[in-house]
Amino acid sequence: EVQLVESGGGLVQPGGSLRLSCVASGFTFSTYDMHWVRQVTGKGLEWVSSVLTSGEPFYADSVEGRFTISREDAKNSLYLQMDSLRAGDTAVYYCARSWSAYSPIDSWGHGALVTVSS
Partner 1 sequence: EIVMTQSPATLSVSPGERATLSCRASQSVSSNLAWYQQKPGQAPRLLIYGASTRATGIPGRFSGSGSGTEFTLTISSLQSEDFALYYCQQYDKWPTWTFGQGTKVEIK
Instruction: Find the part of the chain contacting partner 1 (CB under 8 A) among 7-15, 18-26, 70-78, 98-106.
Output: 98-106
Burial of 88 (0-12, 13-18, 19+ CB in 10 A): exposed
Q: Does 47 bind partner 1 (CB under 8 A)?
A: yes
In the complex, what is the shortest distance from the CB of residue 79 to partner 1, in angstroms, rounded to a whole number?
18
Q: Which of 46, 70, 83, 90 is the binder for partner 1 (CB under 8 A)?
A: 46
Q: Does 50 bind partner 1 (CB under 8 A)?
A: yes
Q: Does 27 bind partner 1 (CB under 8 A)?
A: no
Strands (E), 3-118: 3-7, 10-12, 18-25, 33-39, 45-51, 57-59, 67-72, 77-82, 91-98, 107-108, 112-116
In the complex, what is the shortest distance from the CB of residue 50 to partner 1, in angstroms, rounded to a whole number?
6
Q: Does 20 bind partner 1 (CB under 8 A)?
A: no
Q: Which residues bind partner 1 (CB under 8 A)?
A: 44-47, 50, 58, 60, 94, 98, 101-111
